[in-house]
Structure 1
Amino acid sequence: MEKVKIYVNGKEYKNIFTRVIWSGAIHGTARKLEVEYLGDIITNIGDEIIFSYEEEKLFYGKVFQHSRKGETEIKSFYAYDNSIYLNKNNFVKNFFQKKPSEILKEICGELNLKVGKIPKDEVTCTYPAIDRSGYEIILNAYTIQHRKNKKIYSIVSNEQAIDIVEQDTYTDVLLTSVDNISTSSYEESIENMINQIVIYKVEKEKQQILNKAENAEDKKKFGLFQQVMEYEKDVDNIANAKDMLKSVEKSARIYCLGNILIQAGYNIGIQEPHTGLVGSFLVKSDMHIFEGETYFCSIELAFENVMDKVQFENKEKAKKNKKKKGKKVKKKDKIDELFPEGWDKKK
């Protein structure tokens, strides 16, 4: 592993590693570095890690675990990049007419995380966030923007800064069965199919069916797979219901020669006629494995580029236990206690 170097608190190590795995995925997964090595222990929990390959620094992170096996001389550790702190910290927040970038900067500021490249703000956001992770809170803000412009955003860490990147970015990578693909597989499934969404509304403690969105072709071919969605004011409920529909899930995996440009969230070109994988595909997850003098990748491909979304509790729904004169009421839930009625009308 002459080309692999790892820096621990600034100190360089090389030629002691038996196996290094650098991996990541779309939809909120922090990038991870897993390392096995020989010799003296080189890490402590919390140490700063930099991983480089061919003199290019690919990963900045912090050690979360290290271990040793008694029957061997092999030691190991793993580290995450700093986007892990967005997943590991929950908040109590109420946002009123805040831009997505303002929400991002507020959360990152409290976690001492740098903010890097971000898209132009196109919406304002008003919502409470109770016991939600930093990742979920930021994601919800950019989901609101996604509903307006239909662009698909991911939250990633690049060079120790939190970036909001638009998916569908192409890299200069072409994988072929002739040159660099070792094995490939392709499968289809209806295990998670949703082909009808019923939109309902609760008014005066009565449920009312308002509308529905469906995939008529899938219903006819595979039978009914139905979910329900509560009506929300001031949003395009039909469009959101259509976003929830899931057709036949297609998945593919490729095992190929290593290339550092292959990373989750980016599109690559593939020509593999045996499985029918020909065209441009989004990398859903990537695993780069360095072992001995070999470097190879295991890749999962996505066939639909879908925005990762999180469902926040509706403020109106949280008010269902509002006091009524002359009637016994239940204890207020925590949203009402933290955000009294009318909080979102104040300026």
Structure 2
Amino acid sequence: MELYLANESGGYDVTGLVSTVSVSGDYQQIARTLQASLLSFPTDSRVPEVDCPVGSAVRLTHEGETLFDGYVISRTKSTAANTIDLTCYDRGFYLKRIRTAKKVVDAAPEAVVAELCGEYGIDTGGLAATGVTVSRKFLGQTLYEIIATLYTIAGRTTGEKYHIGFDGDRLCVRAKGPSGRVTVIRGDSNLMDASVTESVENMVNSVAIYNQDGLLQSTVQREGAVQLYGLMQEYLQQANDAQTQAESMLSEDPEQKITVNCLGDPSLVTGGCAIVREPYTGLYGLFYIDSDTHTWKNGQYYNRLVLNFKAMMDEKEVGEAIGG
């Protein structure tokens, strides 16, 4: 692991000043986070003093591959500790801090995102092509809310779940699913431990669709799940795609939270996939990565992953529909 910091004074390799560094991501958070503590001994000339003001650029690499590229968003100094604690975010942070207005008429999400990024000087990588057009008016929403809404709506037609995030300095939107080499995590190799928790706490097994006057129009249910776990119902207002929306909200099996600790692998990041083979918990097959934490401590590198059988998206629906 190598950690670099750059500010108005120049660029610095600060790897030797940190004992622990973590980089994390979550499918519900557009920005990836880096946290580190830099040794600071202002009175000891043997330890170099590096200025790290808020706004400094931060880059972390592992074996030559960039795993984080962002900025110091906050720092903490204390007389009780000989460290400076840094919290850094990648460029996704700014997508949630820029509010704007946009009118979209019969346009593909990928075209709208490319246009928005051009307006704000954001470089783009791959933007998933949907083959779907959307009409919607946004007023006062963040760039992230707009992008997520466009791809959420498109996903109801394509059947895909999309991951939105930055690859270095480029915004990318990808349909979730295996691509290229998929890492295998198994007990006799790189797996440290695994746990599985099953819960119906967030289950939705019935959706009631009402019109604007509050009159029930229809109900969509998973009857087997209702009989087994009890009625857990959501409300939905009638719209052209209400039936499709209702179907996408339903579940009939308990939610599973799968947590895996394994040896560090830079390819295991949110939005990607992993294959797990672990007989005690019964984990066999392809899983989607909902969140990841990469930690370097005392010369060791390891991952903590939250996995899911299903592809999940941070779905949004802001703004107002236009036309029919």
TM-score higher than 0.5 here? yes
1:115-130 mapped onto 2 (5 Å cutoff): 115-130=124-139
**What is the distance in 1 between the residues matched to 2:15 and 2:146?**
40
> Is the contact between residue 183 and residue 256 of structure 1 (CA under 8 Å) also seen in structure 2?
yes
> Is the contact between residue 212 and residue 238 of structure 1 (CA under 8 Å) also seen in structure 2?
no
> Who is 1:64 aligned against?
73
Out of 207, 231, 241, which is 1:197 matched to? 207
Out of 139, 143, 148, which is 2:157 matched to? 148
**What is the distance in 2 between the residues matched to 1:181 and 1:107?**
42
> Who is 1:243 aligned against?
248
Structure 2 length-normalised TM? 0.90
1:39-188 mapped onto 2 (5 Å cutoff): 39=40, 40-170=49-179, 171-188=181-198
**What is the distance in 1 between the residues matched to 2:283 and 2:130?**
36
**What is the distance in 2 between the residues matched to 1:98 and 1:52?**
38
Note the residue ranges of structure 1 that are not aligned, 5 or more in a row: 316-342
Residue identity in the other structure for 1:14: T
Structure 1 length-normalised TM? 0.84
> Who is 2:45 aligned against?
none
| Cα distance per residue 1:209-228 (max 9 Å; x no partner) | 22221111110001111111
> Is the contact between residue 28 and residue 155 of structure 1 (CA under 8 Å) also seen in structure 2?
no
**What is the distance in 1 between the residues matched to 2:147 and 2:138?**
10
**What is the distance in 2 between the residues matched to 1:49 and 1:290?**
16
**What is the distance in 2 between the residues matched to 1:82 and 1:13?**
21
**What is the distance in 2 between the residues matched to 1:92 and 1:38?**
44
**What is the distance in 2 between the residues matched to 1:271 and 1:305?**
19
Note the residue ranges of structure 2 that are not aligned, 5 or more in a row: 41-48
**What is the distance in 2 between the residues matched to 1:117 and 1:82?**
16
Residue identity in the other structure for 2:251: K
Residue identity in the other structure for 2:39: L
Q: Secondary structure at the match of 2:137?
A: strand
1:187-226 mapped onto 2 (5 Å cutoff): 187-202=197-212, 206-226=213-233
Out of 311, 315, 319, which is 1:305 matched to? 311
How many residues were matched structurally? 311
**What is the distance in 2 between the residues matched to 1:12 and 1:293?**
17
Confirm whether residue 271 of structure 1 aligns to residue 277 of structure 2: yes
> Who is 1:230 aligned against?
237
Residue identity in the other structure for 2:157: K
> Who is 1:5 aligned against?
3
| Cα distance per residue 1:47-91 (max 9 Å; x no partner) | 111111122222110110112231221112121111111112222
Residue identity in the other structure for 2:187: S
Q: Secondary structure at the match of 2:127?
A: coil
Shift of 1:4: 2.4
Residue identity in the other structure for 1:270: V
Question: Which structure has the greater CA radius of gyration?
Answer: 1
Residue identity in the other structure for 2:259: R
> Who is 1:320 aligned against?
none
| Cα distance per residue 1:239-292 (max 9 Å; x no partner) | 210111134111111111111111111111111111111111111100001011
Q: Secondary structure at the match of 1:243?
A: helix
Highest RCO, 1 vs 2 (Cα 8 Å, sep ≥ 6)? 2
> Is the contact between residue 149 and residue 315 of structure 2 (CA under 8 Å) also seen in structure 1?
yes
Deviates more, 1:295-304 or 1:87-96: 87-96
**What is the distance in 2 between the residues matched to 1:167 and 1:258?**
22
Deviates more, 1:3-12 or 1:189-198: 3-12
> Who is 2:267 aligned against?
261
**What is the distance in 2 between the residues matched to 1:139 and 1:118?**
12
